[in-house]
Amino acid sequence: MPTDAVLPIDDLLILPMQAGTPQPASASFWIHNSRQTVRRLVHPEAQLTPYLELTFPAGALSSLSGVPLTDTDSVLVTVDPWPGQYGFTLSPAALTLNSAALPTAKFFFGFYADAGVASQSAKYSTASDYAAALDIWHEVTVAQWRVAANSAAAGVDAVSATTATTGEYVLAAPR
């Protein structure tokens, strides 16, 4: 899918979790502009199976509510996983990220994904075809979504992308 294509949310087949999957908890943590910060959200079970990993490189923060941030500044960010789906909200909305040092998001979906959702689209012959078509999508305006920059497979059953702004992100494929 070209990264400049914009689709309504109804044209995306968002990857759901299997019924009964332990839901990852929301997380709030400080991003220090002077150093890299990596945070992993996990499913709350004995194995702590990864759900999402966010990596903020040093210098990732540009401004907050229009006030420029320096190397000595830090910002409390919150990541809210979407219930029952591979998606999350990154906030605060007033945070602007540095285009020269953008964070990345990486979804891990191998253990709890329900790729059987592929049957809801004639595009995918198998669940594997659907899984191969997954990208990370970002909401660019209300209910309008675009593939996040650099979205690509990141190993077995994982997809990563650049997160250029705060807001909504999902792991999905076109319907």
- The mean per-residue pLDDT over the stretch 63-86 comes to 98
- The mean per-residue pLDDT over the stretch 167-171 comes to 98
| Tokens 């650099």 -> residue | 150
Question: Tens digits of per-residue pLDDT, 98-107?
Answer: 999 999 999 9
Question: Tens digits of per-residue pLDDT, 121-164?
Answer: 999 999 999 999 999 999 999 999 999 999 999 988 999 999 99
Pairing of strands 158-162, 152-153: antiparallel
Give the three-state DSSP class for 111. Answer: coil
d(CA 141, CA 150): 20
Residue 149 in tokens: 């920059």
- The mean per-residue pLDDT over the stretch 73-78 comes to 98
Q: In percent, how much of the chain has pLDDT > 70? A: 98
Question: Tens digits of per-residue pLDDT, 64-75?
Answer: 999 999 999 999
d(CA 98, CA 1): 25
d(CA 18, CA 126): 17
Q: Reply yes or no on domain 6-174 having CATH 1.10.3470.
A: no
Taking residue 159's Cβ as centre, other Cβ atoms within 10 Å add up to 23
User: Do 107 and 43 form a contact (C-beta atoms < 8 A)?
Assistant: no
Taking residue 64's Cβ as centre, other Cβ atoms within 10 Å add up to 15
Taking residue 168's Cβ as centre, other Cβ atoms within 10 Å add up to 19
pTM: 0.94
